[in-house]
Amino acid sequence: MYTLTVRDHMMIAHSFHSEVFGPAQSLHGATYVVDVTFKRRQLDEHQLVIDIGLASDALKTILAEFNYTNLDEIDEFAGINTTTEFMAKVVFDRLKAAIGRGDLGESAQAITEIEVSLEESHLAKASYIGAL
């Protein structure tokens, strides 16, 4: 299996809706380092997993939707705890859709799996791994 990882970041604000979150029920901020790993069985005709420029641009576009945003104010997330785990899946879903539209190039159709990791500090991160 071949892999390629691109990295970016986003800064968000949000709050949670359950006593299990303790003080995080109050509005607070987070800065996530976001790593996306694309996986495929064989390299393309250019010996690439995916075009790194297209992958980086797609990730930047997706994160721009949330960067410097209070996630509590996004209608799509109304009543949802936008945990690190949840947001990893959101980024995955948007990348999967971008590949489906052809935004990451024709060779991206051979990607078999994507792993999205959001690191909220040097102590903790969460990931979502999904097949395409």
pLDDT digits (tens, 9 = 90+) for 24-48: 889 899 999 999 999 999 999 999 9
pLDDT digits (tens, 9 = 90+) for 37-87: 999 999 999 999 999 999 999 999 999 999 999 999 999 999 999 999 999
What pLDDT is stored for residue 25 in this prediction? 82
Chain mean position to CA 91: 3
Mean per-residue pLDDT over the chain, rounded: 96
- Single-letter code of the amino acid located at 3: T
| pLDDT reading at 23 higher than 90 | no
Q: CATH topology for 2-131?
A: Tetrahydropterin Synthase; Chain A (3.30.479)
The verdict on pTM exceeding 0.75 is yes
